[in-house]
A and B are shown apart, each in its own frame.
Chain A
Amino acid sequence: MNDHPRLTAVFARLSFGRTSGKKPARKATDNPKWEKRLQKELMAIMKDPPDGITVSQDTLEGSDLSQICVNMTGPSGTLYEGEAFMLRFKFGPKYPFDSPEVVFTGENIPVHPHIYSNGHICLSILTEDWSPAMSVQSVCLSIASMLSSCKEKKRPPDNSFYVKTCHKNPKKTRWWYHDEDV
């Protein structure tokens, strides 16, 4: 897996981050191997990036695996064609048994009926329907597919109320997944 020289360098940097950060005390439900799994995921994306998805430069240059950013280009033939977005993933020590926290970040938040203007995404796989068989890559693809199937660019109806009252971590919202068709 470490045969590509540039990837090897990146991998070394990512691995180095494991020992440099201070570690909080482990809880009984934590997965001690979450960083290893995440390294493998990132390596796979870098080697064989899906359409329109790249790991951000900051992530590649940084050493902190608990937070990574992914660039996403609006899929062609959709309302978002050519737009550039950024997704931020935060991982906890129960990954991949618990879902990552995923939000849109940066200047351009997609205008979409399931995406709030603060970047929070209403998507069931990000909370209760998360499965450990999913990955950064499959989350990106699900979000891209959510964008692709959108017929009208608009914010969720409760956008202004939600954005004012929500926690900054969308996983602290108990989502109601009502409208599966959009």
Chain B
Amino acid sequence: MSSESPPPAASGDNQDELILAQKEAIAQDIASNASLVGNLEPVYSLEREFSHDAVFMTKIGNLKGRYAELRRTRPDGNCFFRAVAYRYFELLLHRPDEYERIKALLPRAKAQMIELGMPTFTLEDFYDNFMDHVDRVGQAHMDAQQLFETFNEPGQSDYLVVFLRLLTSMQLQRNAEFYQNFMEGDKTVAEFCATEVEPMYNESDHIHITALTEATGISLRVIYLDRGSQTEASLHDFPDQGESAATTPLVHLLYRPGHYDVIYPVKSTSESGPATSNATVTTTAELSS
């Protein structure tokens, strides 16, 4: 195959190639500088990046009381899905109840995906692979280190991401009437899924998060570290529990504009066992004041 030859001499005729080559170079650069899933680091490591920024520094300072550690993911457009998947699999290592729940839920989800007309052949490939990993982790055939390695192996890691993208697409399409309210212009939900959900490297938005948490029953809290004027990072729980915040979400993510990382509440890192609910919890009301 010789199709990867450099642009021909008359490159003035074809700017497309240069642009695409640059995009590929950027992707390779990101890939060589950021692991798909990084090691645990203390939350205060964020301070190094934002030392010049008073608003962020205040918010990070206030986060430190509630969150101990951070795990970065590669900013490749798949970060939301990869972060959720990693943290969830990590929890499955210690949560037989979650393992039983998700094991019962996924076959139903798969049937719904097929019912929607998703291509059975490829879907089964992604489903089987995902289920296989759920089983391996849930039945202790894989430990935290192997999980970490799996998520850093591109083919494998992306296989898991694809399945979550398909689940999200399924949830949106099955509830198309509702989600149509959030579409821009005259885009249909099916078109949105085909262009913004199923293809890799497309960034996730509120609507992806809502659909994925609905489809999986995985509760999620996103801490938004952005330029808002308050001194506390704002947060959003999925599914939305309003002011009650009765239960602590399973998975916590830190959002910075354009990117999601995994964040670990104080005393509830991966090693702390099932007692995630004992972590320091701040209610929605307190945080959004």
Which chain A residues have a beta carbon within 8 Å of chain B's beta carbons?
27-34, 37, 40-41, 44, 66-67, 90, 96-98, 101, 124-125, 128-135, 137-138, 165-169, 171-174
**Interface hit among B51-59, B120-128, B269-277:** B120-128
CB closest chain-A residue, reference B155: A31
User: Given A90-B1, A173-B16, is A32 in contact with B199 using a C-beta cutoff of 8 Å?
Assistant: no
Enumerate chain B residues within 8 angstroms of A172, measured Cβ to Cβ. 14, 16-17, 20
A167-B155 contact given A29-B28, A40-B125, A96-B122, CB 8 Å threshold: no
Q: Are A32 and B155 in contact (CB under 8 A)?
A: yes
Distance (whole angstroms) from the CB of A50 to the closest CB of chain B: 11
Question: Contacts A27-B31, A29-B28 given: A129-B7 contact, CB under 8 Å?
Answer: no
Taking CB atoms, residues of chain A closer than 8 Å to B126 are 132-133
Knowing A29-B154, A34-B155 are in contact, say whether A133-B123 is a contact too (CB < 8 A): yes
In the complex, which of the residues A34, A90, A133 contacts B162, with contact meaning CB atoms closer than 8 Å? A133
Chain B residues with CB below 8 A from A29, complex form: 27-28, 31, 154
Task: Name which residue of chain B comes closest to A174, CB basis.
Answer: B16
Chain B nearest CB: distance from A94 CB in Å? Answer: 8
Q: Contact at A132–B200, with CB atoms within 8 Å?
A: yes
User: For the complex, is B289 an interface residue (Cβ under 8 Å from A)?
Assistant: no
Residues of A within 8 A of B68 (CB): none
Q: Hey, which chain B residues are within 8 Å of A137, CB to CB? A: 119, 121
Within 8 A of A (CB), among B1-46: 1, 3-4, 7-8, 10, 13-14, 16-17, 19-20, 27-28, 31-32
Fill in one digit per residue for B106-129: 1 if any A CB lies within 8 Å of its CB, else 0: 000000000000110111011000
Residues on B with C-beta less than 8 A from A30 are 154-155
B166 contacts the other chain (CB 8 A) = yes
| Contact assessment for A167 and B7 in the assembled complex, using a CB-CB cutoff below 8 Å | yes
Note all chain A residues with C-beta closer than 8 A to B31.
27-29
Residue B245 at the A interface, CB < 8 A? no
Whole-angstrom CA separation of A28 from B28 in the bound complex: 7
CB closest residue in chain B, given A95: B155
- Are A101's CB and B3's CB within 8 A? yes
By secondary structure, the A interface counts as: loop
Give chain B residues whose Cβ lies under 8 Å from the Cβ of A135: 119, 121-122
Write out the residue numbers on chain B whose beta carbons fall within 8 Å of the beta carbon of A33.
155-156
Residues of A within 8 A of B7 (CB): 167
Closest to A27 in B: B28
Closest chain A residue to B12 by CB distance? A165
A92 to B31, CA, bound (A): 17
How many whole Å from B42's CB to the nearest CB in chain A? 26
- Give 15 pairs: A residue, B residue, CB < 8 Å, sorted on A: A27-B28, A28-B31, A31-B155, A33-B156, A40-B121, A44-B121, A66-B1, A97-B158, A125-B194, A129-B194, A133-B118, A133-B119, A133-B122, A135-B121, A174-B19
Interface residue? B232 (CB, 8 A) = no
Q: Please name the residue on chain A nearest to B33 by beta carbon.
A: A28
Q: Is B69 an interface residue (CB 8 A)?
A: no
Chain A residues near B20 (CB, 8 Å)?
171-172, 174
Contact with A along B235-272 (1 / 0, CB 8 A): 00000000000000000000000000000000000000
B90 close to chain A: CB less than 8 A: no
Contact of A132 among B13, B17, B122 (CB under 8 A): B122
Complex contact B125–A37 (CB within 8 A): yes
Other A-B pairs beyond A30-B154, A90-B3, 8, CB < 8 Å: A34-B155, A41-B121, A97-B158, A98-B200, A125-B194, A131-B198, A131-B199, A131-B200
B230 at the interface (CB under 8 A from A): no
B62 part of interface (Cβ distance < 8 Å)? no
Q: Does B195 contact A (CB under 8 A)?
A: yes
- How far does the alpha carbon of A11 sit from the alpha carbon of B20 in the complex, in Å? 35
Residues of B within 8 A of A124 (CB): 195
**Which residues from chain B contact A132 at a C-beta distance below 8 Å?**
122, 126, 158, 162, 198, 200
Task: Indicate the member of A30, A138, A165 with the most B CB atoms within 10 Å.
Answer: A165
Query: Could you tell me the distance in whole angstroms from the C-beta of B55 to the nearest C-beta in chain A?
Result: 34
**Residues of B with C-beta under 8 A to A34:** 155
